[in-house]
Amino acid sequence: MTEGALAVQACRRAIADTGLDPSEIDGISMFPYRATPPNPFSGPDIPFVQRALGLQRLRWWMSTTGDHGQLGAVIATVDALEAGRAKHVVCYRAHRRQQRRYLAGGDDPTRVFDEDEHTMPYGGGGGAARGALWAARYMAVHKVSQEELAQVNLNARFYAATNPVAYWRTPTTLEEYLDSRWICPPLKILDCDYPIDGATAIVLSRTDSADGCRSQVYVESTGCGPGPGGTWLTWGEKSEIAAGAAAAEMWSRTSLSPSDVDVAEMYDGFSFFTLQWLEALGLAPPGKAGAWMADGAGKPESEIGISTDGGQLGVGRLHGFGKLAQAARQLRGDAPNQRPNASVAVASASGGPNCACVLLTKERIR
């Protein structure tokens, strides 16, 4: 299937799931923006999806970069709904796995711009090369072992084994992880999310317009922001990511606290991001998330479920949208690896200076 077909299929299914008629959708949002020429992450553009869905009365649309995390498109939608720009918005992410090298200007390392001009001449064109520097600093500062970092993959593949839509349906062992090949130390191949062909679509509605919608959950709070720096290069302390700023913003907008969270669908573009998100959100002790998971945190019998669909390390990469979809399904009660009595869930996306998180509740809090 093409990226466009994947996007349209996901949007149609999401709209049908709400019980709304497609004519009631008056907004579209997507990640990321459609670049010209397309970058490796660009998906099908909004005008194509609008035509394919037959939407005649759009009042609002927006495509966003990852500057506010890969859930920035969702946060922009929430803001637009609050402002009355639309009533029902379908928000989507669709892409096919990359078929070429991840280099900013194509395969020509001399055609670079922005931050890439400082990294591409030295071979740092992919996310792993950049992320490894942050991972190494985080692990050095907090004395995180490779075995502790491995827990993110082991947890993800544990849940993916029982998720019928996961790409990887076999659990991994610690020995398999340690024997896997290096990409950029301290990141191994099993620390990196897996590119797939796929799409996720989510419908967000104003509460005063959602009476006819089925299976509602509520957006209680959102958080994003770069904190002390807006680029990968100029960020000061690389043992931390902007998750701290995003989490502080999210918790400042709600009466809930980390102790209320039942499910945490944490970003795992690279495994160390999951540990940093757990700590930034106050769900795990600072610098100890790996050891905390090694002691059993995140598993079905623990107080909190972590990446319960298998995450991007198990299901495959959909740039954080799968995180939000799984969090919503957990609260609806129809998720893969359903947690009993889940009432509060948090989803996060991205790393480095580009982080975003969304807090969902089963019942309306305010």
Instruction: Indicate which CATH number applies to the domain containing 200.
Output: 3.40.47.10
Instruction: Report the half-sphere exposure of 235 (CA within 13 A, side-chain side).
Output: 23
Evaluate whether residue 218 is within a structural domain: yes
pLDDT band at 105 (very low <50, low <70, confident <90, very high): very low
Give pLDDT, residue 104. 41
For the segment 272-276, the average pLDDT, to the nearest whole number, is: 97
Whether the per-residue pLDDT at 66 is higher than 90: the answer is no
Evaluate whether residue 122 is within a structural domain: no
Query: What CA–CA distance (Å, rounded) separates 358 from 71?
Result: 8
Lookup: tokens for 52: 């394919």
Evaluate whether residue 188 is within a structural domain: no
List, in sequence order, every residue forming a beta bridge with 198; answer none if it has no partner.
Answer: 95
Cβ neighbors of 96 (< 8 A, separation 6 or more) are 2, 3, 6, 197
Give pLDDT, residue 111. 60
Evaluate whether residue 140 is within a structural domain: no
| Domain limits for position 83 | 3-99+194-361
For the segment 190-217, the average pLDDT, to the nearest whole number, is: 93
For the segment 165-177, the average pLDDT, to the nearest whole number, is: 96
Whether the per-residue pLDDT at 118 is higher than 80: the answer is no
Evaluate whether residue 40 is within a structural domain: yes
239: region left, alpha or beta (phi > 0 left; psi from -120 to 50 alpha): alpha
Query: Collapsing DSSP states into helix, strand and coil, what is residue 144?
Result: coil
- Higher local confidence (pLDDT), 214 or 181: 181
Closest to 76 in 3D by CA, of 201, 204, 227: 204
Evaluate whether residue 221 is within a structural domain: yes
Cβ neighbors of 72 (< 8 A, separation 6 or more) are 31, 64, 65, 66, 224, 356
For the segment 311-321, the average pLDDT, to the nearest whole number, is: 92
> Do 218 and 365 contact (CB within 8 A), yes or no?
yes
Evaluate whether residue 171 is within a structural domain: no
- The dihedral over CA atoms of 46, 48, 53, 57, expressed in degrees to the nearest 10, equals 60
Give pLDDT, residue 103. 44
Total domains in the chain come to: 1
Evaluate whether residue 292 is within a structural domain: yes
